[in-house]
Structure 1
Amino acid sequence: MANSPQIEFLPEPGMDVRQLFILLHGVGGTPDSLLPLAEAVRAAFPTAAVLIPEGFEPFDGGGAGRQWFSVRGVTEENRPARVAAALPALAAYVQQAQQRFGLLQSDTALAGFSQGAIMALELVQAHDGMAGRVMAFSGRYAELPKTAPRYTTLHLLHGSADPVMDVALIQAAQTRLDELHGDSTIDVATGLGHELHPALIQRAIVRLQTCVPLRSWEAALGLDQSPPDGTTVH
């Protein structure tokens, strides 16, 4: 299944689609690179539709890969504008998929690797609650958030030895989210580099299966505050 423009997996015939997962590859990548993650999601959530679109632009580094935004000449100063320009097309794609399956935003999860993780994080930053969950592998924010999403739970997963996106970037993001009373978790795998490693995939599945969203915890207790330790309950 080489260089497919989009890959999708649906539940077995006769099963209703109850969840939607949209997986976003890294810069210069293709949907095929996310097949291990897709297979793990399918095994854990058999009633889910799993969609893996290709980046909406040809990779300007050459080859058959795709990108969500250009990294040619990218800087800390111009990255936010590039991401913002790429978000409307992704938002439209997500909304169309939700309409196709008749699912709510809360039934939707986004997962991204590297540049795909940037897109997933920034999409729910711009459109709070467009997805109920985000799994950001080896990613970062285009710029640290000034507010935290209220209706999206964020799962940040990273390798401690990542040479492309330093782990300090995502740790700083987690610190900021904590300060903003955000609903997020972070898992850092010792010794791993910039890769979608099976250990991180498995940890993401555990997070999805066991973490109770902060908003649900507060609603159940009739509170508008965080748990005593300020983290997601799991």
Structure 2
Amino acid sequence: MASESSTPMAPLTQRPGDLIVQAPEGPAEGLLLLFHGVGSSAEDLAPLGQVLARHLPRHWVVSVRSPEPCDLGAGWQWFSVRGVDEANRPARVAAAMPGFVATVQRWQAKAGVDAARTALLGFSQGAIMALEATQGAPGLAGRVVAIAGRFAQAPRRADPATVLHLVHGESDGVMPVGLSASALQQWQALGGHATLDRLPGLGHGIDARVVEAVRQHLTGAA
């Protein structure tokens, strides 16, 4: 799927493995960073980035590769899921968070875009990192889009400057949709703004309905 962006997909930049999907000429209106799941790579979310770039022509769009080789096989990870459970997940995420935050800030500096005009979009483990950034680094981004994700633990605060949009398949057997439903309720109870799209029949993945839900959220257009 070819991108109709102002520049073609660029070679690896800033950090080995990150892919620039779109880099507009002149001042940018925003920055969209995409974060893949465990065992995956930046290339896997690049097609989604290309679709969104066509609707956000003045945005930098970058698919970020997580920093560690996956210890379960091919691909990459922010933290190991080997033996992960409810008790040890928060500590693993917290250990990875400084690197995640530094990556976001590097791309904000590169694009010349502030936090308010930054959107973090994560799938699965990438969604966990993006959601938990609202706890470990409040004010990092104005929008967080979590596809098939969850908080590592119940959120403790909700930044009024950060809007959450959750997208989850109702047939997800890896991360049940109830995790996003709980995240929605918890964020709203803390005074934050969040929305949730539940997609019938979708498992742990991304389909055309996910793409359209994300497009509508990021562009404010139905």
TM-score (norm 1): 0.85
Residue 152 of structure 1, aligned match among 156, 162, 169: 162
Match of 2:200 in 1: 190
User: Separation in 2 of the partners of 1:57 and 1:85?
Assistant: 13
Residue 58 of structure 1, aligned match among 69, 72, 89: 69
> Match of 1:139, SS?
coil
Query: Whose Rg is larger?
Result: 1
Match of 1:118 in 2: 128
Residue 140 of structure 2, aligned match among 130, 139, 142: 130
TM-score (norm 2): 0.89
Identity %: 42
User: Separation in 2 of the partners of 1:101 and 1:178?
Assistant: 31
User: Separation in 1 of the partners of 2:43 and 2:196?
Assistant: 26
> Match of 2:31, SS?
strand
Per-residue Cα deviation, 1:39-92 (whole angstroms, up to 9, x for no partner): 1220110011111121111000012x0001000010100000000000000101
Deviation at 1:15, TM superposition (A): 4.4
State how many pairs are aligned. Answer: 209
Deviation at 1:138, TM superposition (A): 0.3
Matched, 1:75 2:85: yes
Q: What pairs up with 1:1-234 in 2 under 5 angstroms?
A: 5-12=17-24, 14-63=25-74, 65-210=75-220
Deviation at 1:10, TM superposition (A): 2.8
Aligned partner letter, 1:10? Q
User: Separation in 1 of the partners of 2:210 and 2:29?
Assistant: 24
> Match of 2:92, SS?
helix
When the two chains are superposed, the root-mean-square deviation of aligned CA atoms in Å is 1.8
2:147 touches 2:166 (CA, 8 Å); kept in 1?
Answer: yes
Per-residue Cα deviation, 1:89-120 (whole angstroms, up to 9, x for no partner): 01011111111222111111100000000000
Aligned partner letter, 1:18? E
> Match of 1:136, SS?
strand
User: Separation in 1 of the partners of 2:208 and 2:43?
Assistant: 15
Aligned partner letter, 2:202? L
Match of 1:227 in 2: none
> Match of 2:128, SS?
helix
1:138 touches 1:165 (CA, 8 Å); kept in 2?
Answer: yes
